[in-house]
Amino acid sequence: MRGSDSLTKEECDRLIGAVGDSGLAIRDRMLLEVFAWTGLRVSELVALRIDQVIDGGRGLPTLHLDRTSTKRKKGGKLPIAEKLQGSLESYVTWLRSWSGAVWLFPGYEGKHLCSRAVQLRIKAIATAAGIRKKITPHSLRKFFVQRLIDQKLDVRSVMELSRHSSLASLHHYLVVDEEAARAAVEAIR
């Protein structure tokens, strides 16, 4: 889905802020936060089980992805930021207060939320936030990759954290900052 637009930090904040605080808005906010801070693919996100992020009521520092839910069936692991761990703890407490689901994002009849439902929710939230770009779950994946690059993380680590198999597949996510590139060239002596 390379046709989706990237988000700026301000747009991502607006997107998350447009969710609200009641009912399924709590779920929607968690969806957006997990997307934005892990770079998961939509199929990976909807297939998350509670036990992959919470153990004994505490957020886990590492997310272990099942081989069955990842592209190319490789599995993988991702660090989970402390702030996201805390949000996940609160979310799971809320979720368990009304659902006995095993899925982090439950759908109907004991199944997990479907990818299409997530796509539609994100589109609706982007509209509510007044963002006029084409925003999809993939936009949040691009946001994650760009934030890694902005943090000056080496390309190999970006590939690993975003679970890209090659630099060729990663390059679709990269946005060149012309001013930064010029400054880097000028700094070479």
Catalytic residue selected from 27, 141, 142, 163: 141
Tokens of 99: 């659902």
What's the rounded mean pLDDT across residues 4-30? 88
Question: Contact 9/104 with Cβ under 8 angstroms?
Answer: no
Mean pLDDT of the chain: 85
The question of whether 91 is a catalytic residue gets the answer no
Catalytic residue selected from 41, 112, 121, 163: 41
What pLDDT does 1 receive?
41
In DSSP terms, 63 is beta-bridged to 78
pLDDT single digits (tens) 93-109: 999 998 888 999 998 88
Say whether pLDDT at 174 is over 60.
Answer: yes
Name the range with the highest mean pLDDT among 69-73, 154-158, 171-175.
Answer: 154-158
What pLDDT does 102 receive?
92
The question of whether 138 is a catalytic residue gets the answer yes
Say whether pLDDT at 114 is over 90.
Answer: yes
Say whether pLDDT at 77 is over 80.
Answer: yes
Q: Taking the model in full, what pTM does it have?
A: 0.82
Catalytic residue selected from 9, 64, 71, 74: 74
Say whether pLDDT at 22 is over 70.
Answer: no
Alpha carbon 84 to its chain centroid, in Å, reads: 11
For residue 167, give the amino acid letter: L
In this structure, of 39-53, 57-71, 123-137, the range with the lowest mean pLDDT score is: 57-71
In this structure, of 98-102, 117-121, 176-180, the range with the lowest mean pLDDT score is: 176-180
Say whether pLDDT at 168 is over 80.
Answer: no
The question of whether 71 is a catalytic residue gets the answer no
Catalytic residue selected from 27, 121, 163, 164: 164
The question of whether 41 is a catalytic residue gets the answer yes
Pick the closest to residue 15 from 132, 173, 172 (CA basis): 132
